Structure 1
Amino acid sequence: MKIKWALLGAIFTIITVLTGCEPLMALDPKGPQAQTQANDIMLSIWIMSFIVIVVFAILVFMLIKYRASKQSKDYAPPHIEGSAVVEAICVGIPVLIVILLSFVSVQSNYKVEATPKGYEDKKPLIVYASTSNWKWHFSYPEEDIETVNYLYIPTDRALEFKLYSYGPITSFWIPQLGGQKYAMSDMITTLHLVADVPGEYMGRNANFSGKGFAENTFNVKAMPEVEFDQWVKEVKKTAKPLTEEKFDELLEPGHLGQLTFTGTHLEFLPPPEGEGGGHNHGSSDSHEGSKEESEHNQH
C-alpha cells in the first residue's frame, strides 16, 4: 500500500513540475526554417510514442494472458519452428519507419539549406558571423556596421549568414529561427534563416570550445524593417569606428558585453573566401594568414 501511494505521489509531482515548464525553444519556431525542423521533431516524437505505447500494450497483454498462474504445472509449450508473419512484422515495420524518416529528413534538409520559400526573388540581408574565444562578431557589409555579442535583424526578410571562426570550431544556433551550423577557421559556411515574428531570441555557440563555452552566447532582436533601418542610421551617428587595433583586442580570449561599431573588420581582415581564401585546415594562425593575404591584395 505504501509503495502504491509513493508511486502515485511521484507521478503527481512529475506531472506538476512538467506543466510549469516553458516550451522548448526548438519547438517554438518563429521562422519557416525552424518550423520545418520543429515539424520533423514532432513527427519523430509521435512515431516513437506510438511505438512505445503499442509495445507496452502488447507486453501487458502477454503478461496477463500467458501468466504462469493460469497454466497447469505439467504444461509444455508446443514446438514452433518459426513464423514468417512475425518475422516480417518485426523486420518490416522498423524498415518502413526508417524509410519514412529518411524521406522526410532529406526533403527537409533541402528546404532549410536553401533560401526560404517565398523569399527567392528578394534581396537577402547578408551578415558575416564570425566567432573568437568567446565572442560573436556580426558584420553587416552593406550597412557598414559591426556588433559584438548581439544581432539585430529585420523580420520578413531573408537572412544569409556567412559563418567562420577566428578560433576553434563553433556552432551558430538560434533555436527559434533554425538549426545550428558550424563555423570553421579557414572556410565559410552559409546559413539561410528568416524571422517571421518580431521579438527577442537567444543565440549561442552549440559546440564545446573550451572553458568559456557556457557564456559564448548572443542576443537576437527581430524587428520590422523600418525599425531596423532606423537602428542602422542611429548606429552610424553614435558608434565609434572599428579599427584594426581594436579588432585585435577583441580577438583576445575572454568575455565581453555588447559592443557596436561603424565599419567592419572585413575591410582590413577579409573573410576566408575568394581567391587564395580557404580550406587551409592545417593553418595554426588563420588571423595572421588573413592579414598577409590582405596586405598582398593591397599591393
Structure 2
Amino acid sequence: MKKTLRAGLPLLGILLGLSGCGMVVLDPAGYVAAQQRDLLVISVVLMLLIILPVMAATAYFAWKYRHDNLEADYQPDWHHSTQLEVLIWSAPLLIIIALGAITWIGTHTLDPYRELTRIEHGKVIPQDTKGLNVEVVSLNWKWLFIYPDLGIATVNELAAPVDTPIDFDLTSSDIMNSFYIPALAGQIYTMAGMKTQLHAVINKTGTYKGFSANYSGAGFSGMNFAFHGMKEDAFKEWVRKVQAKGDRLSRKAYLSLRQPSEDVPVKYYSGVDKNLFHDIVNRCVEQSKVCMNAMKPGEAGPKETELGNDRESVGANHANGNPARRNEPSANEPEGSKSRSQSAVPNTLKQEKRDEGGSPGAHATREGDNGDGAGNASGSGANTNGGGAENGGTKEPAPTD
C-alpha cells in the first residue's frame, strides 16, 4: 500500500501543477479563436468515434478470450465476415470524409489573410465599421507594435477595443518568429524582408498573454507581451496615455531598439517616423541601404546590401549615382486595398568603364522607374509580388586598338 502511495505522489504533483494552467485554447475571447476551438472539438469527437470502440473492443476480447475462460466460443475455422468488413471499412471512411470536408471549409474560412465578415456568430460587421490597423515587428527579443492611424507605437504591450476588427501587418527585423495570442487567433509567422497578415477580433474585455511560439535564440523565453481587450472609452484613454508619456520612434530610435536585449519592459512612443514599417519590411531603415522594392532585376538582394556601404558589394558602382530611398504610397494602388506597398522614386545609375591602359572608356547611363513590391506569407510559405518598368539608355562602344 505504501509503495502504491509513493508511486502516485509524482503524478499527484503533476496534476496539482497543471491545475493552475488556464485552458485558454478551449475558452477563447475572440471570434477567430472560438471557431478554431470548435474545429478542435469537432475533430476530436469524430476521431473518438473510432478510438473508443477500438479500445473497448480490445478490452472486451482480452477479457472474453482469456486463458481461464473455458466457456468462450472456439471457432478455429472462422476467417471472414462480410458484415464486419463493411463496418470496419465504412465507418473510418465516412469519418475521414467528414474530417476532410471540415478541414477544407475551415482552412478557407479561417485564412489569416481573409478579412473578417463577422465579429461573432450571427453578428455581421457593418460596412461603415473602421477597423484597427496594427503593424507588428518581431525583434530580438521583444515585440514592437505600431499604430499607423494613431501615430503611436509600443513595445511589449498591445491594446484593442472589443468588437472591432483588427488588421495586423507583420514582419521581422531579423530572425523568423511566430506571433501568437491564444485567446485571440491562431499563430502567424513573421519573416524578415516580407509581410504577413492576420485578421482577428477580440470580443471580451480582459488582459491576455501573447508570446513568441517559435524558438529564436537566447531571449526567446522572455519574449512575451500583454494584450488588452478594452471598451472603446478605455481604449481611447489608453491611447492618450501613450501619446502623453512616450518618446518619438525615429529611425535612430528603432535602430537602437533593434539591438538584441532580453526581458524588455513596456515602452511607449508618442510619434512614429513616416513609412518606418515599409522601410523595415524592405530592409532600408538605414540611410545607406537601398529598399528591396526599389531594386531592378539583376541587382543584388538584401543580403549583399547589408554587408556595408560599399556599392561594389551590390554588383555595380553607385559612387556617382543616387540610389532610390524611401517611397510614397503608389497612386495606382487599387482603392480600398490593405496593401502597404510603395512605389519607388526614379533612380539613375551611371557607370564609367575604363580600358586596361587607364584611359576613359565608354559611359553607360541607365534610367529606370521601379514599380512597387510587397512580400506576403501564410503558414509555412510566402508569395512575393513586384512590378517594375525600365527605360533603356544608350551605350557607346568602347574604343579598340
Query: What TM-score bracket applies, with the shorter chain setting the length?
Result: 0.7 to 0.9
Check the 8 A contact 2:50/2:92 in 1, yes or no. no
Amino acid at match of 1:235: V
Q: Give the TM-score normalised by the residue count of structure 2.
A: 0.64
Check the 8 A contact 2:205/2:230 in 1, yes or no. yes
Which residue among 230, 250, 259 is the counterpart of 1:223?
230
Deviation at 1:81, TM superposition (A): 4.3
Deviation at 1:266, TM superposition (A): 5.2
Q: What is the rounded CA distance, in whole Å, between the counterparts of 1:285 and 1:205 in structure 2?
A: 28
Q: Name the structure 2 match of 1:260.
A: 268
Amino acid at match of 1:264: V
Which residue among 244, 253, 257 is the counterpart of 2:251?
244
Give the structure with the higher percent strand. Answer: 2
Q: Name the structure 2 match of 1:69.
A: 68
The higher relative CO (CA closer than 8 Å, separation ≥ 6) is in: 1
Q: 1:257 to 1:14 in 2, by over 3 A?
A: closer
Which residue among 122, 125, 139 is the counterpart of 2:146?
139
Secondary structure of 1:147's counterpart equals strand
What is the percentage of aligned positions where both structures have the same residue? 28
Secondary structure of 1:104's counterpart equals helix
**More displaced stretch, 84-93 vs 173-182:** 84-93
1:77-226 aligned at under 5 Å gives the runs 77-113=75-111, 114=114, 115-117=116-118, 118-119=124-125, 121=127, 122-226=129-233
Q: What is the rounded CA distance, in whole Å, between the counterparts of 2:216 and 2:17 in structure 1?
A: 31
1:9-88 aligned at under 5 Å gives the runs 13=12, 17=16, 20-71=19-70, 77-88=75-86
Q: 1:18 to 1:128 in 2, by over 3 A?
A: same
Q: 1:15 to 1:242 in 2, by over 3 A?
A: closer
* Cα deviation 1:25-48 (Å, max 9, x = unaligned): 111110110110111112223334
**More displaced stretch, 250-259 vs 110-119:** 110-119
Point out the structure with max Rg over C-alpha.
2
Q: 1:11 to 1:262 in 2, by over 3 A?
A: closer
Amino acid at match of 1:64: W
Q: What is the rounded CA distance, in whole Å, between the counterparts of 1:109 and 1:286 in structure 2?
A: 38
Q: What is the rounded CA distance, in whole Å, between the counterparts of 1:147 and 1:28 in structure 2?
A: 27
Secondary structure of 2:259's counterpart equals coil
Deviation at 1:285, TM superposition (A): 7.4
Secondary structure of 2:130's counterpart equals coil
Check the 8 A contact 1:166/1:286 in 2, yes or no. no
Which ranges of structure 1 fall in alignment gaps of 5 or more residues?
none
* Cα deviation 1:50-72 (Å, max 9, x = unaligned): 43332222122212222222349
CA RMSD of aligned residues (A): 3.4
* Cα deviation 1:57-111 (Å, max 9, x = unaligned): 2122212222222349xx9742344334333333332222222122222222333
Deviation at 1:20, TM superposition (A): 3.1
* Cα deviation 1:182-230 (Å, max 9, x = unaligned): 1111221111111111100000111111222111111111101122122
Secondary structure of 2:193's counterpart equals coil
Check the 8 A contact 2:245/2:268 in 1, yes or no. no
Q: Give the TM-score normalised by the residue count of structure 1.
A: 0.83
Matched, 1:276 2:293: yes
* Cα deviation 1:135-161 (Å, max 9, x = unaligned): 111010000001111101111100010
Amino acid at match of 1:32: Y
